[in-house]
Structure 1
Amino acid sequence: MRRAQLVDEVIEQLRLRISSGDFKVGDRLPAETVLVSELGVGRTTLREAVRVLEHAGLFEVRQGSGTYLRSSTDAKALAPRLRHARVLDVLDVRRALEIEMTRMAAAYRTEAALVALRDSLERMRRGMESGDQRVFIDAEMEIYRVIAAGTQNAIMIEIYGLFSEALRLALTQIIAIPGVMPDCLARHEQLFKAIEARDVDKAEAVAKAHLGRVTRLVQEVLGDARVDEAGKKDAQAVQPLRAP
């Protein structure tokens, strides 16, 4: 059988395992050696299949951690629409999802979640101190992945996974605005404390305040910019973030 046919066969087998519930959203897939043995293919074939499913939005490959099921729904058709969405529209969806997510994560939080959140906050801090926006954004995205997982709601996790790439693109514009990174870090530290204390109302209040502040800033600075316009606006010419 030709390599392309083998890859297609592995993709189909992995999709079947997703649809049958063998893999659930948020789960880490079995180790590569295990999958190679189960599927009866070579490592190269498996890796090509995983790359295809990662591009489709089903898998997320985390360096040094493994491959995770991001969504059980192919996001490929949805992705172009999300990439062309207005940043403000992305923030509206973010607000609708994250405020409830933070409430649920605070109510159900675990020690493992706190460890993951602390680690991500530290990486946010390092990104801010070094001026590395990519590190900062990656860490912020990880915080909300942990919060989404903390809801213990498979549908919520999946919806957030489908939406996360558009959010990442929007954040590349938002984080570039002077003064945003330190303010954002401070708000997430407050959010962590509320989740740690299982203070549901405080977690909601912090999330609302943070997202409201970001929305006002985007209205002022980016206007009707779309998420695929990162780098087209001269964010450095903008005045530093001001207190509301």
Structure 2
Amino acid sequence: MTVRPVRHRSLVEEATAELRRLIGTGEWPVGSKLPGEVELSRLLGVGRTTSREAVRVLIADGQLRARQGSGTYVAAVSPVSRFDRELRRSETFHVYEVRAALEVEAGRLAAQRRTEEDVLALRAALAARDAAADPIELVEADLELHRRVVRAAHNPVLTRLFDSLLDALREAGGYVVAADHPHAGTDQDAITGAHHALVEAIAAGDPTAAAEATGANLIRTLDQLRPTQTTPH
């Protein structure tokens, strides 16, 4: 006789399994929109934190996709393959490589050229980032803060270049947060500290400190995303 050991599953695991069941059975077909966070928590019979974590798991697995200002939608019936996840990770790594190169210089220039109005806007954007209550809100607030840094550099070409990358940056940022790379656990405090240090360096007119703070933020993310082996193109 084979007896399977009884396993204790957390509420997050139970909620994740139920979401997978609803998607797999076609209750929520590909392209459909999930209920809002409050309604989803009610349907699952769990707290908002639990339902939010379950959604994050499925976003990381590629079954769900969050669209800023619209909601969360079913993207695939089953989790994407490991190969596809690694491919997306590699693409995100390359987006962040470009972002790091662009934003380190933007931070340096912003510290040299910022106005009082720029500093006020930066502090407001930083406060909004600190107050972000969910992954989608965090990604958007983070992008707005970095957009303000770029604008404070007062280089119109740099601003246009950053704005042209916004869609790619938003998708990459969503992946980073959903996949729980550097934006959770103990690293969260370090990343939040780096953003505060960046704003203070710009306000103080210290270009070296601004560049270092930008690097401390983005290079940490790059290290988390770095493929085990990259192929030159």
Where on the TM-score scale, by shorter chain, does this alignment land: which range?
0.5 to 0.7
Distance in structure 2 (CA, Å) of the matches to 1:135 and 1:184? 16
Unaligned runs of 5+ in 2: 1-68, 70-87
Q: 1:182 to 1:133 in 2, by over 3 A?
A: farther
Distance in structure 2 (CA, Å) of the matches to 1:85 and 1:208? 20
Query: What's the CA shift for 1:184?
Result: 2.3
From 216, 224, 228, give the equivalent of 1:217. 224
Contact 1:108 1:150 in 2 (8 A): yes
SS at match of 1:167: helix
1:231 paired residue number: none
Distance in structure 1 (CA, Å) of the matches to 2:90 and 2:156? 25
1:201 paired residue number: 208
Distance in structure 2 (CA, Å) of the matches to 1:84 and 1:199? 34
Q: 1:141 to 1:97 in 2, by over 3 A?
A: same
Q: TM-score, normalised by structure 1?
A: 0.52
Q: 1:118 to 1:223 in 2, by over 3 A?
A: farther
Query: Is residue 126 from structure 1 mapped to residue 131 from structure 2 by the alignment?
Result: yes
Identity of aligned residues (%): 28
1:158 paired residue number: 160
Contact 1:133 1:175 in 2 (8 A): yes
**How many residues are matched?**
139
Query: What's the CA shift for 1:85?
Result: 7.6
Q: 1:187 to 1:203 in 2, by over 3 A?
A: same
Equivalence map 1:87-98=2 (5 Å): 87-98=92-103
1:70 paired residue number: none
1:191 paired residue number: 198
SS at match of 1:86: helix
Query: What's the CA shift for 1:154?
Result: 1.1
Q: 1:171 to 1:181 in 2, by over 3 A?
A: farther
Contact 2:110 2:152 in 1 (8 A): yes
Q: 1:85 to 1:160 in 2, by over 3 A?
A: farther
Distance in structure 1 (CA, Å) of the matches to 2:130 and 2:141? 9
Unaligned runs of 5+ in 1: 1-62, 64-82, 225-244
Q: TM-score, normalised by structure 2?
A: 0.55
Distance in structure 2 (CA, Å) of the matches to 1:85 and 1:154? 30
Equivalence map 1:77-116=2 (5 Å): 86-116=91-121
Equivalence map 1:1-244=2 (5 Å): 86-127=91-132, 130=133, 132-176=134-178, 177=180, 178-179=184-185, 180-219=187-226
Q: Which amino acid aligns with 2:146?
A: Y
Q: 1:190 to 1:223 in 2, by over 3 A?
A: farther
Distance in structure 2 (CA, Å) of the matches to 1:115 and 1:199? 17
Q: Which amino acid aligns with 1:205?
A: E
Deviation digits for residues 134-182 of structure 1, max 9, x if unmatched? 2211111111111111111111111111011101111111123133543
Q: How large is the RMSD of aligned CA atoms in angstroms? A: 2.4
Contact 2:90 2:225 in 1 (8 A): no
Q: 1:84 to 1:187 in 2, by over 3 A?
A: closer
